[in-house]
Chains A and B, each alone.
Chain A
Amino acid sequence: MPRPEHHIIQFTIDGREVRAIEGSMLVDAAKHGDVEIPYFCYEPKLGNPVGACRMCLVEIEGIPKLQTSCSTPVKDGMVVNTQTERVRHAQNGVVEFLLVNHPLDCPVCDKGGECPLQDISFGWGLGRSRVIEPKRHFVKPLALSPLVAIDRERCILCYRCVRFSQEVSEDYQLVFADRGADTFVATHDGHPYVAPFSGNIVELCPVGALTSQPYRFRARPWEIEGAGSICTLCPSQCNVELTVRDEKVLRVLSREHDEVDDGWLCDKGRFAYQSIHADERVTAPLVREGGELREAGWERALEVAAGLAEHKGRAGALAGGQATNEEGFLLARLMREALACADIDSRAGGPMALGLTQALADPKLQAAVPDLEFAHTVLVLGCEPLDDAPILDLWIRKGVRRRGVKLAVATARPSALDASAKLVVRYPPGGEHAFLVALAAALAGDDQAAGDESNNGARALASLLTTGGEDVVIVWGERIGPAAAQMPAIAEHLRLAEREGAGLLEVPAGANGRGLREAGVLPGAGPGYAELGHDAPIGRDAAQIAAAAAAGELTALYLLETDPVRDRADRHLWNSALARASLVVAHASVLTDGIREHASVVFPAESYAEKEGTVVHPDGRVQRLRAAIGHPDQVRAGWSVLAELGRRAGHELEVPTSAAAFAQLVEAVPFYAGLTLDQLGGRGVRWPARELSSRSFPAPSATPAAEPGWVQAGAPRPEPSEAAGPKRPENGMLRLGTYRSIWAAPEVELSPALHFTIAHQQVELSPADARRLGIASGVAVEIAQNGRSLQGIAAIRTGVPDGTAFLAEGIAADSANVLTEQLVEVRKA
């Protein structure tokens, strides 16, 4: 879909000739003439204006009535007056009306000092009131959810919060009840407003009616500073402003990047800052002594870790999604250069042939986030944006709602986006490969190979993708694993590389998954997807590292901000791998199971609020993290620890600062060439959009794009003979599918405000299976397989295909990564 073209027109405001974009709302256009028009309800992020608050009335020549400038598109030659007696009279009136019932409790209001109503009353009010009637008084504040408190006395019914719930996040839980002056913001029957994006309403509220429970009364606006950075809790990498008081992060606000987050945050990003200051956080180096991790000095910890030098050629390393590009880059250098080890990985999807990796990262194929809004068709493939990169869920909804984007969802598990989709295709868990083969065949017009339509829907999807318009964006998850081999063919059929607004957008499993890959944290590629030299062997991928360590072939493991026991498939294998390794070096801020049980030494990891460095957004935007607060207690920067370990292993990495590490990275990655931290600034640089980068992107490697014998680490391993499709359920067993909830993160567990969201094992069953098994929603169930079992709570969900059970992984207890086979038995506990 072509993006709207902008025409510049000229209009007159308060006697000044001003140029503005035709059709932009007057209230925005006025800013070009340095004219500020006050408003409460206007917020373009929320969609079409509602014109409810009437604060922005202006006089337009030729129109008898005053007009709301928030809803009046500016036209060429328009003559607008905002300073006339009539306008002032109306503005005075609106302020006075608002204060008929708004309490003047500003001294005890959390919004005081950063309150639009205060500012507008001061700037546009009469300064006096004729109201002697008693104001309304309600009990306040009341809980609207565990995160948000509501003060209905202060509410001015501006529509912002309810519009957010209804038209942006589309959870439609927050509404107005009753009408007239009795209208109030409500939920259904006293249910709390709990939804993944609920915290945005606090930031939207122009008065102190909606306040953040964790932030209330923690600071006054004049005591705080705002520090811009990037949230690295998921791949969305939203731009945030951290509210800092006394070296403590007290709040997270959106730093509004209209090509990354559109000004929204999810509740994890907004409230999990509490984990930064949690008591449970590791803030000093720990060393295992007598079987227990004990606090030790840095020197002692570094000394233990320096023992890596004893394991040259026999060490493996994993980097977690929150590690920065610099950390990943230095880890790779440490492993390859100082320890002669090639076994390093950051991916969740298993090994990938270099040629395929390069093909999928080709700048021509990369869709940018805003393309989701302007595409003709968006396909969500093998991922759940709401869980995997929440902000993308909002982007997709925005496109569908406001631009008429046609949405197709092809996943194993029912998606939150199903209700917005034109077409929903379900394949069985583990059936990604077979489905994509069929889709590629259908796109090629090979009906024979496309298979049985009633069975897989590939042809319907192919026809939607080919007939709905050229600009197709495919949002696909790294979790589809080996099936990704089909993506280049699909992209080729749809000619995604040829169009500006079309492309692929991969949602990696880790927040900085893309950056780490580009920095060379891959078993088979150096920085910039460079082919490894002839003398450098191709290393093991994560699953192979586990197997090798468990078999004693690898004797040391380096875990950079990751705990494979929690994050990766096959918990038992990882437990034995870590147990068998004689040295386990970890950077961690939380002692999750694997670290607590097996680490020999734990370096306290920085939180994202403390880091300096860069990360790469899934769409290729290199973004910069800035330290908002100093390191608490004994925490040191990750890059400095890696540099020190290199030194102790006898290999000077020559990185005196984080910026030096970035400079080395830029040097090493051809398509970053010329990037500087200054250029990245506060908004980042999308490298695939740079002409220079596209030219310096490596030509596809000779390695064949698709290799047999692929394994997917995040899901059960298909037997080679079953590559065409997963097992059919038999003997009353159910196919096992897995999902990772947005809340399945250690940071959530460490944030008191988010305790109510902590993900537990919720077993999703189809209504028919539940009936057959005699299981009701909410009852405890046991899931068993090969003598292993775990506990969960049943959730009956229409849309789950019969014969399938979906289990949660990535959670602290009873995670599905205990299970390794395709079929499970579900029974009442």
Chain B
Amino acid sequence: MSLRRPRSASPAGSEGNRPTSPAIGPVPRFAHGSRVPGWDDAVDLTKPPAAVPDPATTPVPDRLRSAIIGAMVKYPDRRSAAIPALHAAQQEHGWCSPEAIEQVAAVMQVTPAYLTSVATFYDMFANAPKPRHDVFVCTNISCSLRGADDFYAAMAAAAEQDPNVTVRSFECLGACDLAPMASVDGEYVGPLETSDAERILEDLRAGGPVLADKQVRKLRCADPKAASGRGGERTTILFDDIDEPGLNTLAVYERRGGYQSLRKALAMAPEEALSSIMDSGLRGRGGAGFQMGKKASFLPKGDMDKYLVCNADESEPGTFKDRELMQKSPHMLLEGIVIATWATGIDRAFIYIRGEYSHQADILEAAIAQAATAGYIGEDILGSGHALKLVLHRGAGAYICGEETGLLDSLEGKRGNPRLKPPFPAIEGLYDGPTLINNVETLCTVPHIIRMGGGEYAKIGTESSTGTKLVSVSGDVRRPGNYEVVLGTSSREIIYGLAGGPPEGHEVKLWFPGGSSAPVLTGDDLDVAYDFDTLAKAGTMLGSGAIIVVDDSHSVLEVALKLAKFYAHESCGKCVPCREGTNWTVKMLGRIESGEATPMDLDIMASVQEQIIGNCLCVLGDAMAMPIGSMIEKFRGELEAEIEAARDRAGAGELQNVVPVLLDTLAS
């Protein structure tokens, strides 16, 4: 299994230019350290303190300066421009070098340390010189189930000879329907075979499009209903005509009835529009499943700066529905946003899109420009008096920015650390103002609710899980992809009926019903109805609506280790149980793999998960602890066998030297 960051993970890799103490020799690292230089060095006492650089003594290239200033003016607080400015600086300098950071600091008038802190938080910023081309290979669960680790090895080996290419494993890129896939200089390609590694390098050298036949922009929707247009027995709403050519342009979108819901909504009073959303019973499609109308109603009334933030940081492993929506029907999202702001009296909105989705961000940016020209965004929209300023904000690679308060901090130009709740964002969110945060799919549904009427929409699905839901199915299925299903459909129908089930001769061993944060279900649970409450009753959750299927050809340990490593890497580090708990769990699972564990470790691990759950600042810790805990509970037999097998492989033999030492320091 490939490690996330070879540089920090292997002791040998970090020997580079680290000074060793002559007296004691090199200190063993035990797989700790940082990809960020400086973690093992003293400061240079001859340097002056790094205060805010004086513009008079810090020259900045004009192009970079205007990019930064251009970003700064978009936000109420200039610090929000930190991430866009660092993107620009990285483009200018090739990486976020100290010099690049100082230049940004001089323009933004912040300290370089502020930006260093931000730059080192996000995966997309390079803190060391890097080759020109980036190949990010997704090695998360869904991709690795389909052979991503082999492809990563092949790609890394092939690129070894090419000084212009860097290969990194990067999780999860949100394209599990293409698994195994990679992002080559931002271009998503897949599904990949090991032979594609050479082709990627050739295409990069030639300077043309990379793997032109395997690009995500050419991928057709997997949902047969959506692909075939109207008709058939299943209800589809969001995916109607999703593959219609040119749907991403205003002309086509308008032709098929686009922005009519906006006109209808603007003709209503805002309260009326809001009550229609409330009547629909629409529950958030991002993960928590909180009713959108209810959340919107928490916003305080009155004349204050209020914000709407669209969470387009689709980062939950296995989830890729928002990507398809934004890429193919960006105006549906914009229409939803404008209606939502009308209904809630908000005049400033942001779309926070994950940095990896650069293609989708470009499409959205174009769509925003078109919509603004057509008068759907801006001052006095369609003569209604409603004004909306909409800014697209690109992230820079951090799972935690999908958590709503982590997202807010990130949008404010800080490290994406979640905030304490309460206060909840609806009361005190972005720039301390009341903020409504909704997922892309949720907002995309809004125009349809207005079109149909909330009551009408509520008739679809079950009583407490109304409407349709896009389900991203990935992993060991024959037809991975997004499917629009009515909530309450049987899970077996989704996994087997729509996605084709596991390949010939294999059975479902376990599946994640709502992204990798959801406690796993087994093959026995396939008949559970796919809706919020039934899944909650089954001890798991619908989450983001991402089903990851693992069949009997894969071991639970393999999945658990992938999962734990992902969350340990993505933990922001703010709170103790998550930071230390995820990192300890990875070490314990690693011990199982290397044959150094005993069955007793499973008890410790289970108890550690219990100590994480519910005790963290946000839900990231739970997101690892719940599925890991459920795997230990449901697959204990297999894990014990794995422990034995690994011990045999490692020649560890009889149990000795590995029994945890209980040090009773309190005589009791």
Contact = CB atoms under 8 A, between A and B. Distances in A.
A94 B49 contact: no
Interface string B25-46: 0011110111110111111110
Nearest to B580: A97
A192 B40 contact: no
B47 interface: yes
Interface string A567-597: 0000000000000000000000000000000
Contact of B116 (A96, A156, A175, A797): A175
A209 to B, nearest CB: 13
Given A133-B591, A178-B39, A189 B30 contact: no
Contacts, number: 260
A145 B44 CA distance: 8
A362 B111 CA distance: 42
Interface string B98-122: 1001100000011111111100110
Interface string B571-587: 11111110111111001
Contacts of A777: 57
B336 to A, nearest CB: 32
B38 A190 contact: yes
B9 to A, nearest CB: 10
Contact of A182 (B34, B47, B54, B420): B34
- Most chain A CB inside 10 Å of its own CB: which residue of B19, B101, B110, B121: B121
B55 interface: yes
B302 interface: no
Given A54-B617, A171-B111, A179-B121, A796 B580 contact: no
Interface string A181-204: 111101111111111000000000
Interface in A146-199: 146, 152, 156-157, 159, 166, 171-184, 186-195
B45 A179 contact: no
A718 interface: no
A144 to B, nearest CB: 6
B569 interface: yes
A442 to B, nearest CB: 29
A183 B579 contact: yes
A144 B579 CA distance: 24
B616 to A, nearest CB: 7
Given A101-B580, A145-B43, A180-B571, A173 B34 contact: no
A100 interface: yes
B39 A152 contact: yes
A401 B48 CA distance: 27
Contacts of A175: 113-114, 116-117
B8 A130 contact: no
Interface in B601-632: 604, 608, 611-612, 614-617
A52 B660 contact: no
B304 interface: no
Contact of A131 (B51, B113, B584): B584
A705 interface: no
B223 interface: no
A138 B27 contact: yes
A97 B584 contact: yes
B576 A54 contact: yes
A187 B615 contact: no
Given A133-B588, A174-B113, A180 B54 contact: no
Contacts of B572: 179-180
A382 B114 CA distance: 30
A194 B45 CA distance: 9
B1 interface: no
A319 interface: no
A195 B52 CA distance: 12
A139 B48 contact: no
Contacts of A797: 54, 56
A71 interface: yes
Nearest to B615: A90
- Most chain B CB inside 10 Å of its own CB: which residue of A51, A157, A180: A180
A135 B34 contact: no
Nearest to B97: A189
Contacts of A178: 34-36, 39, 120-121, 573
A190 B57 contact: no
A97 B579 CA distance: 9
Contacts of A156: 576
Nearest to A767: B56
A53 B615 CA distance: 10
Contact of A128 (B35, B47, B102, B664): B664
Nearest to A800: B56
B554 interface: no
B569 A180 contact: yes
Nearest to B612: A93
A128 B615 contact: no
Contacts of A419: 52, 109
- Most chain A CB inside 10 Å of its own CB: which residue of B45, B572, B608, B662: B45
Contact of B420 (A68, A190, A767): A68
Nearest to A157: B573
A182 B56 contact: no
A190 B574 contact: no
Contact of A190 (B43, B54, B575): B43
A49 to B, nearest CB: 7
Contact of B114 (A93, A172, A195): A172
Contacts of B161: none
A419 B112 CA distance: 16
B323 interface: no
Contacts of A171: 49, 51, 111
Nearest to B620: A180
A410 interface: no
Given A97-B584, A177-B116, A137 B29 contact: yes
B570 interface: yes
- Most chain B CB inside 10 Å of its own CB: which residue of A96, A127, A144, A175: A175
B206 interface: no
Interface in B531-582: 568-577, 579-582
Interface in B45-69: 45, 47-52, 54-57
A132 B660 contact: yes
A771 to B, nearest CB: 9
Contact of A179 (B51, B55, B415): B415
A98 interface: yes
B234 interface: no
A93 B121 CA distance: 27
B39 A128 contact: no
Nearest to B657: A132
Contact of A139 (B40, B102, B584): B40
Nearest to B605: A130
A180 B50 contact: no
A304 B47 CA distance: 50
A100 B109 contact: no
Interface string A49-88: 1111111010000000110100100000000000000000
B39 A100 contact: no
B619 to A, nearest CB: 11
A421 to B, nearest CB: 14
Given A180-B583, A798-B56, A142 B44 contact: no
A536 to B, nearest CB: 52
Given A52-B575, A93-B615, A138-B40, A172 B113 contact: yes
Interface in B625-668: 658, 660-666, 668
27 contacts: A97-B579, A100-B584, A127-B664, A127-B666, A128-B663, A130-B660, A133-B588, A133-B591, A134-B28, A136-B29, A138-B29, A138-B39, A176-B117, A179-B573, A180-B579, A181-B582, A181-B583, A182-B35, A184-B36, A184-B38, A186-B38, A188-B115, A190-B44, A191-B43, A191-B50, A770-B56, A798-B56
Closest 6 CB pairs of A and B: A93-B611, A136-B32, A127-B666, A175-B117, A767-B56, A189-B98
Given A142-B40, A190-B44, A767-B56, 15 more contacts: A89-B611, A90-B611, A93-B611, A130-B604, A132-B660, A136-B29, A138-B39, A157-B576, A166-B114, A175-B117, A176-B415, A189-B50, A190-B47, A192-B45, A194-B48
